[in-house]
Structure 1
Amino acid sequence: MNTPSQPKKADSLYYLFALLIFIGVGITIAGVILLNRPTATPLPPAPTRKPITVNLELDGRKFSVSTFAQTVDAFLTEQALILRPDDLLIPSADTPLTEQMTIRIQQAKPVQIFVDDQLTVMNTTFTTPFDILNRANITVNPADALSINGTPISQADMMLWDAPVSDIRIRRAVTIRIREGDDVRLFQTTAQTVADALYEAGIVLFLPDQISPAPIERVVANMEIIIDRSRELFIRADGETVQTRVRAQTIGEALIESGIVLNGLDYTIPSASEPITAGITVRVIRVTEDIISEQSPIPYESVLQADPNLDLDRRAIIQTGREGVYQRNYRVRYENGVEIRRDLIEEFTAQAPQNEVVAYGTKITIRTIETPDGVLEYWRKFRMYATSYYPAELGGDNITAIGETLQKGIVAIDPRIIPYRLNVYVFGYGIGRTADTGGPRTTPYWIDLGYSDEDWVGWSRWVDVYVLTPVPETINYLLSLNYNGGPLPP
């Protein structure tokens, strides 16, 4: 019996070996191709752009900015700067940037321009009123009124204006006719009302004058203003002369129209019934009788009173002085404000004077001061002007007013202020004995500090003078306070 044939093991190995050879050949061919392909040249690295510094002027403010932008437009985009059509940019947007280039930006500002009542608003970088108006094609005529930011200016000052401009107003001048009787004049004005136009024209109006159109009416071109004048007269009343105008027919009516009333015995020259003629002068004679009182002061006296409880050189007002009053009553007649007659009715003392009582201190208190010479007791203190003297200055005379020898430690004073033979102390000089009298002085509060010829030191200044203990038996409690210097109350 025949059985199916089985593949042989050797055939399988053959096929496997063939497959491996095929794969190996493919890999070899691919390697050869790769090895024989030309090698590509590597690309150089991209160049790196460095930033540059430009100067930015924004509405006058200056900045230094570092940027990678290459043009002005790119720089504006980089800095988020958005320009409006009316803004000024220098240089132009397409200009390439260079190191330290200056970019100037001036932003346009809104300006209101009123020509009469017509408003124009424009954005502009111009700063002077002249340039702004020129840009807006608006002309200012010589007679026009011009104001900048509410400030009236002349046209010549437009070029000199250096503040920011936000508001320009132009009032166009118009021609009007002013008729006064047979006189007609043409006048150019920028006034808004009839009253203002007449004021600009230098025309003085009086309340009784009639104006047509009314003073409050608005001025328009070619308007005719008619002035109907009242009649002029002069009124002398109460010491004054009043120039006025009235529409009245008689003097009496004119006085009433002018607010002047005749009372009692008053009368006028000419009389109140006379008719008014142009330029007439009316005198008003006032007639009055009055009782008046005249008071004159009765002076009071100042009385000094010692007070043992009040410190020396202090004063206190115990009772305030009050002037008295002497009164005279008169009956007086006046004509036109001028006294014609005066009759005395009575006279008497309406109020008696009250004397002023001033207490002066007599209480002496011993006090101490620390000095380079030790602790000293004093009972009175003066502010005095100090000078110095020595025998040679006196022609060699060294004997004092009380017979003592002039040397350091001797001082000259007014004995009415500080008695002789008392010790005083002056800082910088020391203790001095009052043993001499100085010459004539501009103030009694003067002290001459004595020296010998050998040790003289010049003095010329204000000093404090301490009067040392013991306290003398006789004291001048009432020293004058009306000079420079004087006693210093404690």
Structure 2
Amino acid sequence: MVWGKHIVIQADNRKYPVMQFGGSVGDALNKAKVTLRGADIVYPPLDTPVVNEQEIIVKRVVQEGIYSDQLIEFKLERKTDRKLIPGQQQVVQYGKCGVSRSHYLATYQDGQEVKREEVGREIIREPQPMIVAMGPAVTVSRSQVRTTLPESMEGQVEKVITAGSTAYTHTGYRTATGVTPYKGVVSVDPRVIPLGTKLFVENYGPAVAMDTGGDIKGNRIDVFFETQQEAISWGRRTVKVHIME
């Protein structure tokens, strides 16, 4: 007498019981009307003879193309403009980050991602550099630093505020506007002084509002210096901030 073999097929989050009299794993799948597609995986292999109390597992395999975008940081470019006074800086062009796109072939088994392979990469948008024009460099002593607004800039002043000020130097991070800080960058509260606003800070000189800080609230600014010693020397002081048109 030939006894039937009890087989259970697991596929599509279901169990299919099958009574099979001999044959292969492939025959059992056909009897249960479980259809294989593309790269589906079957264990044991299709040509394996069935045995009693056997469990056959079918993993559905799907592949699809996906992509991921990454930002490309923009560069800071400085150029000398002799139309500007020494020490004055002016943003000629604001920087914009670029975008690169990586394409992947993702493989899923029963809905779970098991593999991701990069198959290509492209530039969606080239970064736009930030260009800052700078007045010609001069060497001056601290006693020669201009403390008041030059007459040539008086007609450009929109308003003047009194602000508490502190100073900072390099931290290893970019500013809130994405640029590497340099002398002339000032951290502000954007609710008081919008980012990108040109300024003249008493005892500091021409500046641009290009950074923010957690402690910079209301009428308060943080001016940037290239060295820690300069920042320490500045300390904490009250200054007049000329907001330019």
Which of the five TM-score ranges fits, normalised by the shorter chain?
0.3 to 0.5
Highest RCO, 1 vs 2 (Cα 8 Å, sep ≥ 6): 2
Structure with greater Cα Rg:
1
Hey, which of these two has a bigger chunk of strand by percent?
Answer: 2
Hey, which of these two has a bigger chunk of helix by percent?
Answer: 1
